[in-house]
Amino acid sequence: MLSLSAANFPPHTTYNPGPSANCGVLNLGALAVAVGPQAGGTPPPIALAGADNFWGSASGPKSHGEGDFVGGPCDQNGGSTIAKPFATTAFGITSWP
């Protein structure tokens, strides 16, 4: 389970989607707006480009079973993760030397 805490910023908020969320990515959205010095109000929508990634299943992200979840409890504080189109097979990543 992943739990992030913005302990150094008021209002000491913890972001935790829960153990069953199975998040492929935890999108915290506009975190600075929520906990920064000018916190308050509705956070602006923040889109995270997650297209063309393999989410653990040939049929894309899933909330249960094979594959990782995108959206729902994994998108918090105005966050929105875009996962389409998605890769249908795993692929290697080459790092820069």
Q: Is the pTM of this model over 0.75?
A: no
**In this structure, is residue 83 part of a structural domain?**
yes
Q: Say which DSSP state 35 is in.
A: H
Instruction: Identify the pLDDT of residue 33.
Output: 60
Exposure class string for 40-65: b at 16+ Cβ within 10 A, else e: eeebeebebebeebbbbeeebbbeee
Domain count within the chain:
1
Position 41 pLDDT exceeds 60: yes
The residues that bridge with 82 in the sheet, in sequence order, are 49
**In this structure, is residue 34 part of a structural domain?**
yes
Report the C-alpha gap between 29 and 97 in whole angstroms. Answer: 31
**In this structure, is residue 96 part of a structural domain?**
no
**In this structure, is residue 95 part of a structural domain?**
no
Nearest to 6 by CA among 29, 24, 27, 31: 31
Task: Give the H or E element holding residue 49.
Answer: strand 46-49
**In this structure, is residue 44 part of a structural domain?**
yes
**In this structure, is residue 33 part of a structural domain?**
yes
Instruction: Identify the pLDDT of residue 91.
Output: 93
**In this structure, is residue 23 part of a structural domain?**
yes
pLDDT tens for each residue of 58-89: 999 988 888 889 988 888 888 899 999 999 99
Helix (H, G, I), strand (E, B), or coil: what is residue 9? coil
Q: Which domain holds residue 40?
A: 1-89
**In this structure, is residue 94 part of a structural domain?**
no
Which of these ranges, 16-20, 24-28, 67-71, has the smallest mean pLDDT? 16-20
